[in-house]
Amino acid sequence: MLVNYEVTESVAVLTMQQAPVNGLGLPLRKALREMLHKAFDDATIKGVVLTGGEKVFSAGADIEEFEAGLDGPNFADPYLGSLVDLVEAAGKPVVAAISGVCLGGGLELVLGCHYRVADSSARFGLPEVNLGILPGAGGTQRLPRLIGVEGALDLIVSGEMVDCERAVSLGLIDRVLVDEAEGTAVKKAVQLALEAASSGHWPRLRDVVIRMQANELSQLIEAKIATLRKPLPAALQCIDAVSWSVTLPFEEALGKEYAALRELMASAESQALRHAFFAERRAGKIQGISREVPVRAVTSVAVIGAGTMGSGIAMCCANAGMPVMLLDTSEEAVQRGLQGLAANYGAAIKRGRLTTEVADRRLRLISGSTDFSRIGSADLVIEAVYEDMAVKESVFRAIDSFAQPDAILASNTSTLDLDAIAGFTSRPQDVVGLHFFSPANLMRLLEVVRGAKTRDEVLASAMQFARKIGKVGVVAGVCDGFIGNRMFEEYLRQAYFLLDEGATPLQVDRALEDWGMAMGPLATMDLAGNDIGLAIRKRRKIEQPDRPYSAIPDLVAEMGRFGQKTGAGWYRYDPVTRKRQADPEIDSLVLEYGARNHIARREISDEEIVARCLFALANEGALILREGIAQRASDIDTVYLNGYGFPAHRGGPMFYADKIGLPNVLARIEGFQAGYMGELWQPASLLTELGETGQSFASV
């Protein structure tokens, strides 16, 4: 039974029971309609309580229905909007009793109710904009009537979730129950329904008239648009739709909202964002490992290396409520790491992201030491030291000596051979890669690297740990750079070769940023450190002496221009704002290099910059897929969306290539073979096969 129906004190209590999150797919919508009519048609029923139970109200629409298109079950009768209308128009009061998440269509259903009761576990939001659409069941019209236009714009355009306390301050709920027994929300909702029934009247949000001057509305809209870094169609449409709650009659606005939803669902941006959503879900599924594989509990962690990365990893664990031991070889390094952690938490308090109480509690979970024997109590030991194999060997031999027998041993290496590192221990089956991205406490991506001897239970445990600390875990195989950095090197190489031929650093970065990348490749290296790139290229020249690179980035690094940390790299940086400025010295260096090496400079279009850099990513991704380094193309997209600033509305490099069409990508790469460094453009065999047969990466 999808909706349980029972009567309490002449009130029908309808409890949604569609596990796990009461997704409002067609079956649940039909069941709700049936039970609502049953309650409305029964003369003995005075009111209705709608609830999702004690753990969750509803996480909203069944997003899988979206993939069936505009003629699919998402728009089938009863459409959610008509169900909300049915609730609102009822001749009996309907009260929502809310526990747990109440998102998207779930919140729109709540807005159709006449009263809202919630307990302190309730969480509210309209996240549709994150899927490239808008709330299409009346949310853009009822929410402004309940909490005001400004509050509605904030919630709908941001797509963010708010807790119960914030919901109360916004006026989203009528009564909040704090620290009361489970089930109390339903009991209070029953009382409220009876009170409303006896009074003979109850409010309907559609009847609320918003009175706002045109200039006031215009100012709110302009202010909201100004906060958007790169306005996408869905965000702009959400703003328009909320404005209709002021300027149009309710029914007319509902019709326009519905039409806008259908138009957005068919858009390229929404398709890409929905792909990103499902890709992230799929990434958690490990091919070849049974769900019955036992998982090791990780309740305490030791992190070796108290630098920026190690401290960030410690912060991730403490934020998840786990005690952490932060170790380094000197007391000075340990104290510097602990002080950095305290500063990070202090900054979060100043920005209003944490209370002092929460920050203090998390800080107390982190302790420091130089005594490596203290890792013996940790369930997981993470190495986060300098990217040098000799240093890794020393650390892992120490870990092997002191870690408890069933501990998971992890390396944060970004490029080195994990199997070689595992070989420094007597238990390579317990070694896994946990490649965090900097800053570790903020970046969502975690590459979980499966070594040749990594046990299934260790890999599954590492993925569970990723979820526990709020990361998006993606399984990768062992190779130089794993998924993300291996592909990024090809992206960078093309960026550098473009400088050889005629582009400037600013042109390369702006072309890719205008296309949607969060940061251009050269600005990214200034942030990461050009000295790091130089060290990698020096190692490459030893290991792969025939692998060609532009020498320009080496010249920049050898000038001591390591990037933001030295105040200058590819750009100069303001010491206070860190704002970048193009530097004539670098532009001259680029010109002189080309002249000295007799490279004919030419005008390069922004389109060519984007195509060369992005198709280099996709081509290397095809090699990674064929080699089994990545489980699926969508995993590669998840890596780039969460770790490399790839724009979500483009779906990821592999999805983007699929949308361009692999035959077209293949033809462009073959065209690049006739140009500068054309011998490097060797189409991956998988790309060639798929391109010639008209298939996609998604089909692999």
Which structural domain range is residue 356 located in? 301-480
Catalytic residue among 34, 54, 67, 128: 128
Same domain for 496 and 466? no
Q: How would you label 476-509 residue by residue, b for 16+ Cβ within 10 Å and e otherwise? A: bbbbbbbbbbbbbbbbbbbbbbbbbbbbbbbbbb
Please indicate, yes or no, whether residues 385 and 498 belong to a single structural domain of this protein: no
Q: For the chain, what is the domain count?
A: 3
Name the DSSP letter for residue 95.
E
- Cα separations (Å) of 22 from 3, 53, 59? 10, 10, 6
Whether 180 sits among the annotated catalytic residues: the reply is no
Say if residues 359 and 346 touch (Cβ distance below 8 Å): yes
Evaluate whether residue 289 is within a structural domain. Answer: no
- What's the burial of 672, exposed, middle or buried (CB within 10 Å: 0-12/13-18/19+)? buried
Last residue of a domain, one of 213, 240, 265: 265
Helices (H), ranges, 504-562:
505-515, 521-528, 530-543, 552-558
The count of C-alpha atoms lying within 13 angstroms of the C-alpha of 591, restricted to the half-sphere facing its C-beta, is: 6
**b/e for 540-569, b at 16 or more Cβ within 10 A?**
eeeeeeeeebbebbbbbbeeebbbbeeebb
Q: 534 and 461, same structural domain?
A: no
Do 476 and 495 lie in a common domain?
Answer: no
Closest to 482 measured CA to CA, from 595, 640, 342: 640
The answer to whether 273 touches 130, Cβ cutoff 8 Å, is: yes
How far is residue 605's CA from residue 616's CA, in Å, rounded to a whole number? 17
Evaluate whether residue 509 is within a structural domain.
yes
3-state secondary structure of 108: helix
DSSP state of 286: P
233 and 314 share a domain? no
Beta strands in 17-154 (DSSP E): 47-51, 94-98, 101-103, 115-119, 123-125
- The string of pLDDT tens digits covering residues 267-324 is 999 999 999 999 999 999 999 898 889 999 999 999 999 999 999 999 999 999 999 9
* Cα→Cα distances 8→11, 16, 48, 217, Å: 5, 16, 10, 45
pLDDT at 180: 63
Of 431, 457, 480, the residue at which a domain comes to its end is 480
pLDDT for residue 73: 95
Splitting the chain (700 residues) into consecutive groups of 10 residues, what average pLDDT does each group show?
95 96 97 98 97 95 91 94 98 96 98 95 96 97 98 96 93 81 81 93 95 94 90 94 97 98 96 96 92 93 96 96 96 96 94 92 96 95 94 97 97 94 98 95 96 97 97 97 96 97 96 96 94 88 88 96 94 91 95 92 96 98 97 98 96 98 96 93 96 93
CA distance 221 to 455: 55
Claim to verify: residue 564 and residue 628 sit in the same structural domain = yes
Is 691 found in the same domain as 548?
yes
Residues 244 and 309 in one domain: no
Give per-residue burial for 1-32: e unless 16+ CB within 10 Å, then b.
ebbeeeeeeebbbbbbebeebbbbbbebbbbb
Strands 380-383 and 408-411: parallel
CA–CA distance from 291 to each of 288, 434, 464, 465, 559 (Å)?
10, 21, 12, 16, 53
Q: 682 and 557 in one domain?
A: yes
C-alpha torsion 393→399→401→402, nearest 10: 160
User: Which pLDDT score is estimated for 181?
Assistant: 59
Answer whether residue 599 is part of any domain.
Answer: yes
Structure tokens at 296: 């090791």
In this structure, are residues 156 and 139 in contact, taking their beta carbons and an 8 Å threshold?
yes
- Coil, strand or helix at 119: strand
The confidence score (pLDDT) of residue 577 equals 87
Say if residue 586 is in the same domain as residue 502: yes
Q: Which of 6, 88, 108, 332 is catalytic?
A: 108
| pTM (2 d.p.) | 0.92
Residue 557 counted as domain residue: yes
Which of 243, 265, 287 is the endpoint of a domain? 265
CATH number where 537 lies:
1.10.1040.50
> Looking at the domain assignment, is residue 271 inside a domain?
no
Q: Is residue 376 part of a domain?
A: yes
Closest to 634 measured CA to CA, from 486, 474, 477: 474
Given this model, what pLDDT does residue 182 score? Answer: 59
Residue that the structure tokens 């029953």 belong to: 190
Q: Do 396 and 390 meet the contact criterion of CB atoms below 8 Å apart? A: no
505 contact partners, CB below 8 Å, separation of at least 6: 499, 522, 570, 571, 582, 586, 587, 590
Question: Would you call 627 a catalytic residue per the annotation?
Answer: no
State the DSSP code for 667: H
Indicate whether 294 belongs to any domain. no
CATH of the domain at 73: 3.90.226.10
Beginning with the edge strand found earlier in the chain, give each strand of the sheet holding 472-476 in spatial order. 366-369, 324-327, 301-304, 380-383, 408-411, 431-436, 445-449, 472-476
User: Do residue 220 and residue 239 come from a single domain?
Assistant: yes
Q: What is the CATH number of the domain that holds 317?
A: 3.40.50.720
Same domain, 472 and 518: no
pLDDT per position as a tens digit, 665-688:
999 999 999 999 999 999 999 999
